[in-house]
Amino acid sequence: MLSSLGTKSVAVRTPDDLAGIDAIILPGGESTTISMLLESSEIFGSLNQMIGEGLPVLGTCAGMILLANEVSDGRRDQKSFEAIDISVRRNSFGRQIASFESDLKVKGLEESFRAVFIRAPGVEKVGDSVEILATVDSDEQTGVPVLCRSGPILVSSFHPELTADSRIHQIFLSLIK
Applying CB under 6 A, among 12, 24, 26, 31 the residue interacting with ligand GLN is 31
Applying CB under 6 A, among 7, 15, 18, 30 the residue interacting with ligand GLN is 30
Taking the C-alpha atoms of residue 4 and residue 93, their distance in angstroms, rounded to an integer, is: 31
Site string for ligand GLN, 72-101 (x = CB under 6 A): ------------------xx----------
Q: Which of 42, 110, 131, 159 is catalytic?
A: 159
- Would residue 159 show up in a list of annotated catalytic residues for this protein? yes
Rounded least distance, CB 115 to ligand GLN, Å: 12
Q: 154 CB contacts (<8 Å, ≥6 apart)?
A: 56, 57, 58, 59, 147, 148, 168, 171, 172, 175
Rounded least distance, CB 16 to ligand GLN, Å: 26
- Would residue 61 show up in a list of annotated catalytic residues for this protein? yes
Does residue 36 interact with ligand GLN by CB under 6 A?
Answer: no
- Which residues, 52 to 71, sit near ligand GLN by CB under 6 A? 61-62, 65
Taking the C-alpha atoms of residue 132 and residue 173, their distance in angstroms, rounded to an integer, is: 18
- Which residues, 117 to 146, sit near ligand GLN by CB under 6 A? 118-119
Residues contributing to the site for ligand GLN (CB under 6 A)? 28-31, 61-62, 65, 90-91, 118-119
Which positions are catalytic?
Answer: 61, 159, 161
